[in-house]
Amino acid sequence: MKQNYLAEFIFIVILILFSIYRYFYNVESVVMKVFSPTMFAVDLNGNRQIERGEIVCISGIKTFNNNLADVNDELAKKLDVSYKDALSFAYITGDYSNSLLANKSVTFKPDVEQNNPDCVSGDILVNNTSYRKKLLDEGYAYSDMFVYNSAKLKERIEAVKGLHPVVMNRKSKKYHEIGCKFGKAAQDYAVLLKTDLPENAVPCKWCHKAEENPQTPLAPIVYPDRISDGSVKMFLTDMTTHLNVKNDCSSNICQALLTEINNAQESIDVAAYGWVSVTEIDEALKNAVARGVKFRMVYDFSAREAYYPDTTKIARFAVEAKNDLIPGNSRMSEYLMHNKFMIFDGKKVAAGSLNYSKTDFSEFNSNFILFVDSRDVAQVYTQEFEQMLSGKFHTDKTKRAQYTNYKIGDTALQVYFSPQDNTITDKVLRYIDGAKKYIYMPVFVITHKPLEAALLRAKERGVDVRLIVDATNVSAKKSSVQNLRAQGIPVKVENYAGKLHSKSIIIDDEYILAGSMNFSRSGESRNDENMMIIRNPRLAVFYKDFFLYLWNKIPDMYLTRNPRAESIESIGSCFDGIDNDFDGKTDKADEGCYAVKGSK
């Protein structure tokens, strides 16, 4: 027995010495698992396995834990925090530490004296910054030894008072109020915020009696998804109320497109970034071809295998089909045919940000789609489509000789295409610089520097500028988010499983600028894209109200924090069967969802 203890002691000593060696030579190690904000497994020996002696504790600070039996009562008493609020605090602190550390490379800085038998104590550097200091500076931790941000800590304490933590039994999916005897009895549980419960979670009948009362409104507020103004109809799909991807065509937007396909008599032209089959849509296209409708298609070559495996299959039914592969031209082959529009019988267009995929047809992602019943507008789109069908993509395309402001009922509409029209530089900036009251932008990504500068100019002249950005792109190297925030423009990052996939701007209760084009250099000057500039006060106010509805549903904490796209922080993302952050891992296999799984 003594020999076993001696062997373990020698192993730990060697591991500590090895860790000290790696620190002094700036060797980074990967965080394998986050157990709590102050305890995690760090791969100190580089073998990608969690071993004894690789459990690291951050010394000198105190945080709350989401363990029902050990929430850190001593800290709660010191800070005058209730048990319920302490669990909420533990939840947001856990989210923060997961986003900083999970699967990240860090440098371990061990303490000289090691007094904890359960872990190796010290600090870690994340991007050359002390993790301990980050927790203290951001108000997530308290310390008797180090300087902490008392104002920020008080701010966090006030913020959690409005949260509603619950205990969910992972096996039964029943959720309980804090203090419920059945919640305490659960062996395999997770402490979650009520807003982050999976869709299949059910309330405990003992502690949620009010939820059994049919007079109690429990259903989430659902914003209307469409508005019609004569020959123009606008759809805005809502990712906050569709947390699962469906394999059918039951959603309103899918039904709207299905109706147009079934009603087509002469032609259907499709410009698709890619295609993922939904049976009803596929069958409707096949039936259209069978009844003599001329089906033509252009699509992106590079996207067809990775995310859109059914693209070439559906293209086989087209009488003519062309992709944007240009043999021998590697530069042009990197550009995207990123359009998403359909033209029906040469007289109606459906265009916007919606990809032809299950996630978008399910309204799992938020998108903007406009149906325009106008031969003139359809003709402009057809000319662009036929350029691509003839083999002219990207910078090979030619500009139109004449541009028209189309009048369709109460709607004035302009249409522009990338890259030939310099849409952002020559068109969008003009409207940004002319804004007087507000500029609201629900966008997938923003990296375009002149646009960023124009938004800052608008803020300086007193315009209310706000953005909601998708979580997958907010940390991109060229993202404008951090600079806009630093200059005082409020930017929220969405915290839902689906993508905020719109590429839109709403201005002054008058204009909507929207289409397939991301607000990036590639979107303007390389990829094949389309954008519509829509002047219609009724549609603009409707879209503004939808933006504010989304803005109010996203917590204010995401004005400064960036939730991971697949994590316990992004509602529904750990239970949807989708690889939300494109890292090859889904749901509980993803590091961001470890806290839901319980162990790995």
Q: pLDDT band at residue 68, thresholds of 50, 70 and 90?
A: confident
Give me the pLDDT at residue 499, please.
96
Read off the pLDDT of residues 441-497 as tens digits, 9 standing for 90 and up. Answer: 999 999 999 999 999 999 999 999 999 999 998 877 789 999 999 999 999 999 999
Both tokens assigned to 152: 């920020």
| Tokens 């289409």 found at | 515
Residues 237-270: b if buried by 16+ CB within 10 A, e if exposed: bbbbbbbbbbeebebebbebbbebbeebeebbbb
Q: Of the ranges 328-332, 440-444, 468-472, 575-579, which one carries the lowest mean pLDDT score?
A: 328-332
Whether residue 440 contacts residue 431, with contact meaning beta carbons closer than 8 Å, is answered with no
Give me the pLDDT at residue 7, please.
55
Indicate the CATH number for domain 2-82+89-148: 2.40.50.90
Cα separations (Å) of 48 from 32, 43, 67, 96, 128? 8, 6, 27, 23, 22
DSSP state of 428: I
Task: Using DSSP, state whether 513 is helix, strand or coil.
Answer: strand
Classified by CATH at the fold level, domain 226-559 comes out as: Endonuclease; Chain A (3.30.870)
Give me the pLDDT at residue 53, please.
78
Whether residue 357 contacts residue 364, with contact meaning beta carbons closer than 8 Å, is answered with no
Q: Of the ranges 263-272, 279-288, 392-401, 569-578, which one carries the lowest mean pLDDT score?
A: 569-578
Q: Average pLDDT in the 6-12 region?
A: 59
d(CA 69, CA 320): 66
Q: Of the ranges 151-165, 385-399, 412-426, which one carries the lowest mean pLDDT score?
A: 151-165
Specify the pairing of strand 491-493 against strand 464-469: parallel
Q: Of the ranges 140-144, 188-192, 402-406, which one carries the lowest mean pLDDT score?
A: 188-192
- Please count the helices (runs of H) and the strands (runs of E) in the chain: 19, 26
Is 217's pLDDT higher than 50?
no
Q: pLDDT band at residue 329, thresholds of 50, 70 and 90?
A: confident
Q: pLDDT band at residue 436, thresholds of 50, 70 and 90?
A: very high
Q: pLDDT band at residue 405, thresholds of 50, 70 and 90?
A: very high
Give me the pLDDT at residue 156, please.
85
Is 120's pLDDT higher than 60?
yes
- DSSP secondary structure string for all residues of 34-102: EEETTEEEE-TTSSSS--TT-EEEETT-B-----TT-S-HHHHHHHT--HHHHHHHHHHHHHHHHHHHT
Give me the pLDDT at residue 143, please.
92
Give me the pLDDT at residue 275, please.
95
Task: Using DSSP, state whether 576 is helix, strand or coil.
Answer: coil
Both tokens assigned to 330: 């590697």
Give me the pLDDT at residue 103, please.
79
d(CA 252, CA 362): 9
Q: pLDDT band at residue 326, thresholds of 50, 70 and 90?
A: confident
Give me the pLDDT at residue 330, please.
73
d(CA 28, CA 126): 10
N- to C-terminal Cα distance for the chain? 30
What average pLDDT is seen over the chain?
87
Q: pLDDT band at residue 218, thresholds of 50, 70 and 90?
A: very low
Q: What percent of the chain has pLDDT over 90?
A: 53
Nearest to 382 by CA among 269, 289, 293: 269
Q: pLDDT band at residue 241, thresholds of 50, 70 and 90?
A: confident
Give me the pLDDT at residue 175, please.
86
Specify the pairing of strand 174-177 against strand 165-169: antiparallel
Is 408's pLDDT higher than 60?
yes
Whether residue 251 contacts residue 361, with contact meaning beta carbons closer than 8 Å, is answered with yes
SS (H, E, C) 461-510: CCCEEEEEECCCCCCCCCCCHHHHHHCCCCEEECCECCCECCEEEEECCC
d(CA 162, CA 80): 16
Is 26's pLDDT higher than 70?
no
Is 293's pLDDT higher than 90?
yes
Angle subtended at Cα 52 by Cα 34 and Cα 145, rounded to the nearest 5 degrees: 55
Give me the pLDDT at residue 495, please.
93
d(CA 78, CA 241): 40
Whether residue 270 contacts residue 295, with contact meaning beta carbons closer than 8 Å, is answered with yes
User: 75 or 187, which is more confident?
Assistant: 75
d(CA 176, CA 154): 28
User: 85 or 389, which is more confident?
Assistant: 389
Give me the pLDDT at residue 219, please.
43
Whether residue 255 contacts residue 235, with contact meaning beta carbons closer than 8 Å, is answered with no
d(CA 576, CA 571): 10
Is 112's pLDDT higher than 70?
yes
Q: Which residues contact 74 (CB under 8 A, 6 or more apart)?
A: 62
Whether residue 44 contacts residue 22, with contact meaning beta carbons closer than 8 Å, is answered with yes
Is 556's pLDDT higher than 80?
yes
Q: Average pLDDT in the 260-274 region?
A: 97
Domain boundaries, the chain: 2-82+89-148, 165-212, 226-559
The answer, yes or no, to whether the previous bond of 419 is cis (omega within 30 of 0) is yes
Whether residue 563 contacts residue 569, with contact meaning beta carbons closer than 8 Å, is answered with yes
